[in-house]
Amino acid sequence: MCGIIGVVRLSKARLGQPLGQIIRQSLEKLEYRGYDSVGLACIVENELVIRKGKGKIKDVSVAQGFDRLNGDVGMGHTRWATHGKPNDINAHPHRDCTGRVAVVHNGIISNYSLLKQELLARGHRFMSETDTEVFAHLIEEKLAAGYGGYHAFKAALMSIAGSYSFLALITQEPDKIFFARRNSPLVLGISSDALFVASDIPAFLEYTDRVVALSDGEVGFIALDGSVVVEDLASARRVELSGRIRKIGWTPELARKGGYPHYMIKEIHEQPRVLADTVRSLLDDGSYQRAAEVMLSSKRIFLVAAGTAHHATLAARDALLTLGGRVSYPVVSSEYALHALGVEEGDCVVAVSQSGETIDTLLALREFKKRGAMVVSLTNMMDSAIARESDLQLYTKAGPEIGVAATKTFVTQVASLVFLAAKLGVMNGKLREDEYTAFLKHLEEAPELVEKNINVSEPSAKELARILRDRSSMYCLSRGLGVPLAKEGALKIKEVSYIHCEAYEAGESKHGPISLVARMFPVVFVASDTGTFEQLSSNLMEMKSRDAYTVGLIPAGENHTLAVFDYTFTLSSALPVINTILFAPTLQLLAYYLALSRGYDPDKPRNLAKTVTVE
Amino acid sequence: MDSFDSSIRYAVVLCGGSGRDMEPLSVGLPKSLITLLGVDVLTRILQGLKTAGIEGVIVVIQGSEQLRRRALQVGEELGLEVEVVEQGSLREVWGALVAAKNSLVGRVGEGSFLLSYGDIVSTPRFYAKLVEDSSAAGYPVASVVLQKDVTTYGVVKLGSNGAIEKIVEKPVSLDPNMGGYVLAGAFVLPASIFEFGGEEDGFIGVLNRFAETYTLGISVWEGVWVDLGYPWDVLTASSKLLGELKQSSISIHSRVSPTAIIEPPVVIEEGAVVDHHAVIRGPAYIGRNVYVGTGALVHSFSSLEEGVSIGAYTEVSGSVLGPGTWVGRGCFVGNSVVGMKVVFEPHVTTLSVLRDSEMPARLEPTISNGRPIHKMGSVIGNGARIGANSVLYPSSRVETNATISPNTVLRSRV
């Protein structure tokens, strides 16, 4: 959950500011990954200088004078605590007993307590409660045994079990940053001015768009002479990089806030554009045809994802049923062990993850694959771990998503999955050619309608947020094809505004949940499935008769009985499966403005990190 | 414009204009000098500019000697280099900017400057964020805010690159193709903007022409922002500023009875007296030398400006009472904007609950018990006198220096 950045500066002429400042700015781009503490280490005149502390990057960097640190080799870290509570001492980087080794780490060292006991017995002194620190002491031992810096780093790695991406500075070889990756993301950024190694691309996107995604089990270093060395740890064979350098089509401008106060609202507003990009790519991309063929010939279809992506797979399940003529099984990634029991040769699994690094989804995919399932992945990151390990890769074109709350990746995931379902429907005869053409037309119009719905909803969402800001609990209900969006809306509201929001199928009210409803209890109805309006209308009445405060998302132009809400969003609509995309921004906006009106920062929800890379 | 210099040291503040829509409050007082929580609008703007690192300000006025003096005085207090320029017969925003052209170009050359309307109420970070966003973007930007009722503003349409595609002034309703972001009256612009319009042009037209050729970005402001266009905007501005109060401050030179009940956050300035059994529910502002009588109730979101006096058992709720206003005993003043030196004789009642359809433009509903209610009391001009036992219907308007006889039932609409 942590963020890592290492920088080796090759040209002072073009990157003139102090290295500490470059690292601090990169850390700010990674802050979304986790942010209870922060620190950096630089090599200054062949000595290690470490500065770190608990708190936000801005505060710690001012207190510790990050911007004044200079040098040509340095690394930084934002921490999201797993072992040891967030405080100044547990902040990374960690060092050995001699002060010659500094390490930063993302992941979990599973055998750390055993290693720590052994190291303590051999006389090492530990400063922190972290699992990471054992690695610094292990390197120290190898150095003492006569290994050179790089060999000590590799030898120490051999003792480590668990998941990691590591960076290390060793004063014996002060011109290098050593790195290693296993089950935690790490990418190299390459330019003639500087070399970078980081957890995620936005960290160095301002300086270079040439990127190499490292694979699990790779280890190596970047050095002041401009060399980039990557080896396979197990075989110690040198890895050829030339074919793996990719040019990322993002500009630094895209990764900035563009005048908006938060990434979340900027990304909500980007949805029409990224949706258009995604829809365009769907039509050109032969992979969807192949993915549909895989699904057609598979015995069963499993849909594996977590969080927002899970809600996208719920929409996919409904689309597979209504358009694709197939029953599928959505599985929450972390529950894979149970569901994997039923997976057999001939099954197919669709794994969905924005980052492509979600550890639970990755582990599920591996298990399903081992049992003989074909794996299709849908991610937003080229060459991510999940993409690399799947048989067939599909991509959303959402661009970098920095806000912790997923917004634009949800609508692009739903668009891609619904399209896949329609493709399958055509193949197995569920969808006639004219129905498919009509569907495509709706999908192509979706970006424009999403823009309209954002424009229409935003001022109202802000107003409604003022009305609901003091509520502590609410419901978000729907029926039929609207249910996945109700769940996603409730998740958004929970994660950024900290209002408890529960979603369920509206017909369930009288089986229990309605007992909570009293005067002014807010109930949001997602009326995106026209086929269910009659029943939804009676669910609305049962809420109104208990004096709930009812909010409705309803399609424009429908002359139905639903227009009796206390607060109404009248939205442009299309086919019910596509309405999930069209109506989503309204709930995202409501969540965003609820967070603001309650005084919270929607980009940094407490206890959450953007990419969940630990189990 | 070949390159954009984003280091901003100079600003132009436009304080001309007739303020006709602000009547009766603007009769005899330019709207930039209306006080909110003890600070006039112009001073608040200059403080904000100072926070944003501005060194020199050109204030454009239209004949008001009062404004000229105030601008120079505040400039001196804040250590800002202030020059006052007369707008003369040049019209509207663009005319005002043209009036400042010579002074401005003399200072910034081909560089950039900050432009602000002189009737905007916000918190100090407003201008600082604008300057930061412009410097991060590397191109000119306009500050924008989200509004539900866009009909009285310039609405911006954003292009797919996130920059302004065009601006439409005062649309009849919210356009789904445009959305709710409106110009917030503050910009970072290059001096070359003058090449985009002649003296007779409208400012929006000039901006549109500029945006066609160059990038004009946005700086979205989420904090307090009110454009003082209509009298009830004073109410909105005052309540938003009060909403920002995080703690109380009570001057040691005030006198608060030990039996008074003070619910934070409140500001009580020096010389104020809060008498026995009075209740002040925060957020509320009690200005310098204000008197709050025995048993009086000052409800939340009320602001009593300097020298106001409210008599025993009077209730003031969600209202702004201008400097020197005197309210007799037993009155109820709710959701009202009261100018300077108004006199309420005893037992005057203002009514305030409106039908939804009667809401004036851009007035936000108040939230009562979790539901929005449309409330609007009276707008009372400077120097008016309201006779004893009168009842003022919701959204009544009393002209400057008018006298209302005792026992009147007033139904005049704003």
For A104-160, the pLDDT digits (tens) are 998 878 898 999 999 999 999 999 989 999 999 999 999 999 999 999 999 999 999
Query: What angle, rounded to 10 degrees, do the helices at A133-144 and A112-121 form?
Result: 50
The angle subtended at Cα B274 by Cα B269 and Cα B278, nearest 5°, is 135
| Residue A251: per-residue pLDDT | 55
CA distances in angstroms from A132 to A128, A163, A221, B354, listed in the order given? 9, 11, 19, 64
The tokens for A439 are 């569907």
What is the per-residue pLDDT across A482-509, written as a single tens digit (0 to 9) for each? Answer: 999 999 999 999 999 999 999 999 999 9
Q: What is the pLDDT of residue A35?
A: 64
Which residues of B fall within a CB distance of 8 Å from A459? 146-148, 150, 174, 179-180
- Residue written as tokens 């970078």? A196
Which amino acid, one-letter code, is at A4?
A: I
Please report which helix (H) or strand (E) contains residue B120, including its range: strand B120-122
The token pair at A461 is 């969402």
Query: Can you give the three-state secondary structure of A247-288, one letter per residue?
Result: ECCCCHHHHCCCCCCCHHHHHHHHHHHHHHHHHHHHHHCHHH
| pLDDT at residue A521 in the model | 95
Separation in Å, CA of B240 to nearest CA in chain A: 12
Contact yes or no for A259 and B372 at CB 8 A: no
Retrieve residue B291's tokens.
């008197």
Which residues contact residue A235 at a Cβ distance below 8 angstroms, ignoring those fewer than 6 apart? none
The reply to whether residue B370 touches residue A265, judged by beta carbons under 8 angstroms, is no
Give the single-character DSSP code of B183.
Answer: E
Q: CB A455 to CB B221 under 8 A? A: no
Which are the contacts of B135, defined by CB distance < 8 A and separation ≥ 6? Answer: B6, B7, B8
Instruction: Report the C-alpha gap between A15 and A49 in whole angstroms.
Output: 20
Q: What is the DSSP string of A535-572?
A: HHHHHHHHHHTTT-EEEEEEETT---TT---SEEEEE-
Question: What would you measure as the largest C-alpha separation in chain B, in angstroms?
Answer: 69
The reported pLDDT for the residue numbered A562 is 60
Q: Which residue of chain B has the CA closest to A466? A: B367
3-class DSSP assignment, residue A36: coil
Question: What's the pLDDT tens digit per position in B78-102?
Answer: 999 999 999 988 888 999 999 999 9
pLDDT of residue A281: 85
Beta-carbon neighbour count of residue A345 at 10 Å? 9
Marked catalytic residue, from A2, A348, A476, A501: A2
- Asked which of A427-441, B5-19, B145-159 is least confident by mean pLDDT, the reply is B5-19
User: Is B140's Cβ below 8 Å from some Cβ in A?
Assistant: no
pLDDT at position B2 over 50 = no
Tell me which chain A residue has its CA closest to the CA of residue B368.
A467
Q: Range(s) for CATH 3.90.550.10 in chain B?
A: 10-229
Mean residue pLDDT across chain A: 91
Distance CA A226, CA A212 (A): 15
Q: Where are the beta strands (DSSP E) in B1-54?
A: 10-14, 35-36, 39-40
Surface-to-core class of residue A1, CB atoms within 10 Å of its CB (0-12 exposed, 13-18 middle, 19+ buried): buried
Mutate to test the interface with B, among A408, A455, A474 (most CBs of B within 10 A): A455
Note whether A3-255 and A452-600 share their fold. Answer: no
- Cβ atoms of B336 and B395 closer than 8 Å: no
Weakest-pLDDT range from A23-32, B37-46, B57-66: A23-32
Whether the CB of B173 is below 8 Å from some CB of chain A: the reply is no
Task: Mention the CATH class of domain B242-410.
Answer: mainly beta
Mutation target among B135, B177, B222 for the A interface, most CBs of A within 10 A: B222
Q: Which of B162, B180, B219 sits opposite A459 (nearest CB)?
A: B180
Residues of chain B numbered 353-372 and touching chain A (CB < 8 Å): 364, 367, 369-372
Give CA–CA dist B355/A137, Å, rounded.
74
Query: Are B77 and B40 spatial neighbours (Cβ–Cβ below 8 Å)?
Result: no
Residue of B164, B175, B220, B301 for testing the chain A interface, max A β-carbons within 10 Å: B220
Q: Indicate the CATH number for domain B10-229.
A: 3.90.550.10
The C-alpha R_g of chain B, in whole angstroms, comes to 22
pLDDT value of residue A326: 96
Residues in chain A, overall count = 615
Task: Outline where DSSP puts E strands in B2-117.
Answer: 10-14, 35-36, 39-40, 56-61, 81-86, 112-117
| A contacts of B218 (beta carbons < 8 Å) | 258-260
Closest chain B residue to A266, measured at CA:
B162
Put simply, the answer to whether A549 touches B364 (Cβ < 8 Å) is: no
CA B148 to chain A, closest CA, distance in angstroms equals: 5
- The least confident of A30-34, B250-254, B297-301 is A30-34
Q: Is the pLDDT of residue A323 over 80?
A: yes
Instruction: Output the pLDDT for position A252.
Output: 56
Answer yes or no: do A258 and B217 touch at CB < 8 A.
Answer: yes
Q: Are strands B315-317 and B297-298 parallel, antiparallel or unpaired?
A: parallel
pLDDT digits (tens, 9 = 90+) for B195-221: 888 766 789 999 999 888 777 999 999
A254 pLDDT higher than 60: no
| CA–CA distance, B212 with B19 (Å, rounded to integer) | 31
Q: Cα(B278)–Cα(B388) distance, rounded to whole angstroms?
A: 22
Tell me the backbone φ, ψ of residue A351, rounded to 5 degrees. -100, 125
The answer to whether residues A38 and A88 touch, using CB atoms and an 8 Å cutoff, is no
Long-range contacts of B242-246 (CB under 8 A, 24+ apart): B242/B37, B242/B283, B242/B284, B242/B285, B242/B300, B242/B301, B242/B303, B243/B283, B243/B301, B244/B123, B245/B282, B245/B283
DSSP string covering A455-505, please? HHHHHHHHHHHHHHTT-SEEEEEE-GGGHHHHHHHHHHHHHHH--EEEEEE
B134 with B57: CB under 8 angstroms? no
Residue numbers in B near A471 (CB within 8 A)? 370
Whether B180 sits inside 8 A of A467 (CB atoms) is no
Instruction: Residue B179: list chain A partners with CB under 8 A.
Output: 454-456, 458-459
Determine the straight-line distance between the first and last CA of chain B, rounded to whole angstroms. Answer: 46
| Residues B372, A549: C-beta atoms closer than 8 Å | no
A260, A455, A470: residue with CB nearest B180: A455
Residue B1 confidence (pLDDT) above 50: no
Cβ neighbours of residue A5 closer than 8 Å, sequence gap 6 or more: A23, A26, A27, A30, A75, A76, A77, A196, A197, A198, A199, A203, A204
Look at residue A510 and give its three-state secondary structure: helix
**Stretch A557-585: mean pLDDT, rounded?**
88
Strand-pairing partners, residue B145, are B182
Best of A271, A458, A568 to mutate (most B CBs within 10 Å, chain B): A458
Superfamily of domain covering A3-255: Aminohydrolase, N-terminal nucleophile (Ntn) domain (3.60.20.10)
Q: Residue B303 contacts by C-beta under 8 Å, 6 or more apart in sequence?
A: B36, B37, B238, B242, B284, B285, B287, B319, B320, B321
CA distances from A362 to A159, A185, A212 (A): 24, 12, 20
pLDDT at site B18: 74
Share of chain A above pLDDT 90, in %: 72
Please tell me the predicted confidence (pLDDT) of residue B200.
Answer: 67
Rounded CA-CA distance B319/B119 in Å is 20
Of the candidates A170, A79, A55, the one whose C-alpha atom is nearest the C-alpha of residue A132 is A79
Give chain B's mean pLDDT.
Answer: 91
Whether B221 and chain A come into contact, CB under 8 Å, resolves to yes
Q: What is the per-residue pLDDT across A273-290, written as a single tens digit (0 to 9) for each?
A: 899 989 988 887 789 999
- Beta bridge partners of residue A378, listed in sequence order: A352, A394
Task: Give B162's contacts in chain A (Cβ within 8 Å).
Answer: 258-259, 266, 269-270
Under DSSP, is residue A349 helix (H, G, I), strand (E, B) or coil?
strand
Residue A341 corresponds to which tokens in the numbers above? 């029991």
Query: Which of A93-107, A211-225, B20-34, B222-236 is predicted with the least confidence, judged by mean pLDDT?
Result: B20-34
Q: Is A2 a catalytic residue?
A: yes
C-alpha radius of gyration, chain A, whole number: 25
B81 touches chain A (CB under 8 A): no
Give me the helix-helix angle, A308-322 and A483-497, nearest 10°: 170
Task: Give me the half-sphere count of Cα atoms (radius 13 Å) on the Cβ side of residue B161.
Answer: 12
Write down the ipTM of this complex: 0.88
Fold of A452-600: Rossmann fold (3.40.50)
Structural domain spans, chain A: 3-255, 259-431, 452-600
In chain A, whose CA is at the least distance from the CA of B243?
A: A597
From first CA to last CA, the distance across chain A in angstroms is: 10
SS3 content of chain B, % helix, strand, coil (to 5): 25, 30, 45
What is the percentage of chain B residues whose pLDDT exceeds 90? Answer: 72
Residue B414 in this model has a pLDDT that exceeds 70? no
- In the numeric block, the tokens 């401008």 are attached to A253
Contacting residues of B for A596, CB less than 8 Å apart? 222
Tell me how close the Cα of B337 comes to any Cα of chain A, in angstroms.
23
CATH of the domain spanning A259-431, picked from 3.40.50.10490, 3.30.300.30, 3.40.50.300, 3.50.50.60: 3.40.50.10490
Beta strands in B294-380 (DSSP E): 297-298, 302-304, 309-310, 315-317, 320-321, 326-327, 332-334, 337-338, 343-344, 349-350, 366-368, 371-373, 379-380
Residue A58 has pLDDT above 60, yes or no: yes
- Sequence letter at residue A372: G
